[in-house]
Chain A
Amino acid sequence: GENVEQHPSTLSVQEGDSAVIKCTYSDSASNYFPWYKQELGKRPQLIIDIRSNVGEKKDQRIAVTLNKTAKHFSLHITETQPEDSAVYFCAARGNQAGTALIFGKGTTLSVSS
């Protein structure tokens, strides 16, 4: 089955700096890669996703890149703000109906002002 590795587990940056979180996946059949932000005690919130036919996707301060050959994808947050502080999870999923997301272990991002 799919295995997703995520690094780093914790990340501390100064406000305004960029933050990068990296993930690798094992199943070459996976073709959907979302990123979630989770605040304490709440459900994960989808912040951006990318499919395997795209190499990069951007939404304002957030971007995701995908390298299918190397089976890794990354989340980039620019101009970080204190409200970006949260736990971020990457995930991967295949394209078969009924396939669940498999999550990385998460990255705790702390943005200090």
Chain B
Amino acid sequence: GAVVSQHPSWVICKSGTSVKIECRSLDFQATTMFWYRQFPKQSLMLMATSNEGSKATYEQGVEKDKFLINHASLTLSTLTVTSAHPEDSSFYICSAPTVSNQPQHFGDGTRLSIL
């Protein structure tokens, strides 16, 4: 079964709304989680690395003030897309390794549609 739970699976909202996506590790503790974004017919692009108890590390070109990441516990990381606009519409997916240097487990992803 899935070891990473991601919610919600689908969000449709108006431009200017902030949207929070949750990523939970089930049955294991994740000191690190990764957030990816995938536009249609494109690859998974790493947005940021979420670190429990410390600031996230963002990839070049990703606005940290727009994509707020909180990793307050060993089982939960959240990504908040602030003041979302149509260009933020995408498939957002989180992942975490169960143990360092082991395969990453992916959540089911969140399809975000901004009208």
Contacts and interface: CB of A to CB of B under 8 A. Distances in A.
| Contact size range, B | 20 to 34
Given A98-B51, A100-B34, A42 B42 contact: no
B42 A105 contact: yes
Interface stretch (B14-22, B62-70, B81-89, B106-114): B106-114
Contacts of A95: 101
A43 B108 contact: yes
Secondary structure at chain B's binding surface: helix, strand, loop or mixed?
strand
Contacts, number: 44
A47 B36 CA distance: 19
B103 interface: yes
Contacts of A106: 42-43
| Contact size range, A | 10 to 19
B104 interface: yes
B84 to A, nearest CB: 20
A97 B98 CA distance: 11
A44 to B, nearest CB: 6
A25 interface: no
A103 B101 contact: no
A97 to B, nearest CB: 4
